[in-house]
């Protein structure tokens, strides 16, 4: 067993190098160097220029865990201007990732690198942005990182391993600790509290007791962080392998109350069937089931379906009503939920496109329940497809995931019924190209038949013909013209 250095006196960097690694861990770092030859090439250039440079953070952690290492992050004693001079002639491309924050981006072959001057960031209590302070050595830089498992480094070009905060111990224990006191660390950058939740979902780690206590005590501090940074961290959590684990951390520590209050609000509500502990648990189950169905999508993980699954019932607290016999109803929670989802996503600065898609899925997630045992006409099926538009496959996933009943007979019945609906959609699509349904007459033909110019009446006629197409399917042009003239005369 590796001896712990967590409680030992501070040690100089040079005393904690490769010897601290097991043979297996050393092999993984050797493989990292062999897989990414840019490490030794870059290290040689900085060493030749008289500067230190080290691979740091996530890439080191992931290499030791045997996870894929993609983007490479480095820290260096060189300033941004010096970084650019050192890589000139070697890098294919350089760009400013954030010069004010000391970071220069580099492209070398297929590798994307970020090289940052030693940092020592702090937050102004009244500011939404960190106050940048450049550091002078690797030890100080590592102390300012979020968690010990991200505060390990590999110095270049010699691939010397550096761990002054017990990151290896915590990696083995799958525990999140901070290099310095969590109250100081989270005070410097409150977003680290959300990052802790993300690593719980992403890596399956647990937060140390003092980390959790600090998150509870300092939850209000997250409100000084910009909405964009909160959104980006929430996205990383949602796109992790096990987002439910991280979401529970956000709720249990009170962070969700500050950044996504609609989620903890669901804990107060019983669902209408009394089959779940509360709507909160139901929503987390729907999220997990939606993730299990993502294989139906071309690209995954999929942020849109995960947001829709998580938020699909957030309208229930606003619409809860008790009937005379003691049962609970949530009438129109789909429509109310769509409005709340749109409002929250706008507050978090989500792009309009994803906001619109999520809100529409929330609004449509109950539509299927009007299908009964197949009573819908072909017209109703066409409208279902038309209303879903390019979100139809996601709506299929959300609707199926929303079935969390423990009654196996009922669950199988719902599954078979939705199978039938999808089969009918497929049959109609093969006949009519449902995704691109248009009226039988276009706008120009409408104006010609009715002998009118552009204006509101053309739009009304277009909508009449579209509804006609929904009800009766495609018509020969002569019948469409006859119906249009009859409608026009009846106006």
CA distance linking residue 225 with residue 126, whole number of Å: 10
What pLDDT sits at residue 125?
Answer: 60
| Residue-by-residue DSSP string for 169-221 | HHHHHTEE--SS-HHHHHHH-THHHHHHHHHHHHH--EE-HHHHHHHHHTGGG
Q: What are the residue boundaries of the structural domains of the chain, listed by start?
A: 14-166, 302-435, 443-490
Locate 449 and state its tokens. 């038949």
Q: How many CB atoms lie within 10 A of CB 463?
A: 11
CA distance linking residue 74 with residue 20, whole number of Å: 21
Contact 205, 240 (CB under 8 A): no
Q: Which residue has the tokens 């979100």?
A: 391
H helix or E strand, kind and range, residue 247: helix 243-253
Of 56, 167, 175, the C-alpha closest to 119 is 56
What pLDDT sits at residue 371?
Answer: 79
Q: Using 50 as the pLDDT threshold, list the residues of the chain that sit under it.
A: 1-10, 13-19, 271-272, 275-277
Q: Per residue in 306-333, pLDDT tens?
A: 999 999 999 998 888 887 777 788 888 9
What pLDDT sits at residue 402?
Answer: 92
What pLDDT sits at residue 355?
Answer: 97
**Class in CATH terms, 14-166:** alpha beta
Q: Per residue in 457-479, pLDDT tens?
A: 888 988 888 888 877 778 888 88
Contact 75, 43 (CB under 8 A): no
CA distance linking residue 237 with residue 198, whole number of Å: 4
CA distance linking residue 295 with residue 282, whole number of Å: 22
Of 294, 298, 323, the C-alpha closest to 306 is 294
What pLDDT sits at residue 131?
Answer: 62
Locate 5 and state its tokens. 């250095």
Q: What are phi and psi of 112, to 5 degrees?
A: -110, 125
């Amino acid at each position: 067993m590796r001896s712990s250095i967590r409680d030992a006196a501070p040690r100089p960097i040079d005393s904690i190098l490769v010897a601290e690694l097991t043979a297996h861990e050393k092999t993984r770092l050797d493989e990292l160097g062999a897989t990414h030859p840019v490490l030794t090439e870059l290290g040689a250039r900085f060493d030749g220029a008289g500067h230190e440079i080290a691979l740091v953070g996530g890439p080191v952690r992931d290499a030791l865990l045997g996870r894929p290492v993609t983007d490479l992050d480095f820290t260096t004693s060189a300033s941004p201007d010096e970084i650019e001079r050192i890589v000139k002639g070697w890098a294919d491309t350089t760009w400013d990732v954030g010069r004010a924050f000391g970071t220069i981006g580099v492209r070398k072959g297929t590798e994307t690198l970020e090289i940052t001057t030693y940092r020592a960031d702090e937050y102004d209590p009244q500011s939404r942005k960190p106050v940048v302070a450049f550091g002078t050595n690797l030890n100080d830089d590592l102390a300012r990182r979020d968690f010990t498992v991200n505060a390990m480094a590999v110095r270049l070009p010699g691939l010397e391993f550096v761990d002054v905060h017990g990151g290896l111990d915590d990696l083995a224990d799958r525990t999140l600790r901070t290099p310095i006191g969590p109250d100081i660390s989270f005070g410097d950058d409150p977003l680290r509290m959300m990052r802790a939740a993300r690593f719980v979902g992403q890596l399956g780690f647990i937060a140390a007791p003092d980390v959790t206590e600090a998150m509870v005590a300092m939850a209000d501090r997250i409100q000084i962080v910009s909405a964009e940074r909160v959104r980006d961290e929430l996205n990383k959590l949602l796109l992790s392998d096990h987002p439910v684990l991280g979401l529970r951390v956000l709720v249990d520590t009170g962070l969700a109350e500050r950044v996504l209050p609609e989620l903890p609000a669901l804990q107060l509500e019983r669902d209408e069937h009394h089959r779940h502990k509360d709507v909160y648990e139901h929503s987390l189950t729907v999220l997990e089931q939606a993730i299990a169905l993502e294989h139906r999508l071309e690209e995954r993980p999929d942020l849109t379906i995960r947001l829709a699954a998580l938020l699909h019932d957030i309208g229930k607290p606003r619409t809860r009503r008790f009937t005379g016999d003691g049962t609970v109803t949530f009438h129109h929670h789909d429509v109310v939920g769509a409005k709340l989802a749109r409002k929250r996503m706008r507050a978090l600065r989500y792009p309009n496109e994803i906001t619109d898609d999520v809100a529409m899925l929330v609004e449509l997630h109950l539509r299927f329940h009007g299908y009964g045992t197949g009573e819908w006409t072909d017209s109703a099926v066409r409208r279902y497809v038309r209303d879903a538009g390019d979100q139809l496959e996601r709506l299929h996933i959300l609707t199926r995931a929303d079935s969390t009943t423990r009654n196996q007979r009922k669950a199988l019945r719902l599954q078979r019924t939705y199978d039938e609906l999808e089969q009918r959609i497929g049959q109609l699509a093969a006949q009519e190209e449902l995704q691109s349904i248009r009226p039988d007459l276009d706008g120009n033909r409408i104006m010609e038949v009715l002998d009118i110019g552009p204006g509101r009446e053309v739009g009304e006629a277009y909508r009449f013909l579209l509804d006609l197409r929904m009800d009766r399917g495609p018509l020969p042009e002569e019948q469409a013209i006859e119906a249009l003239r009859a409608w026009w005369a009846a106006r």
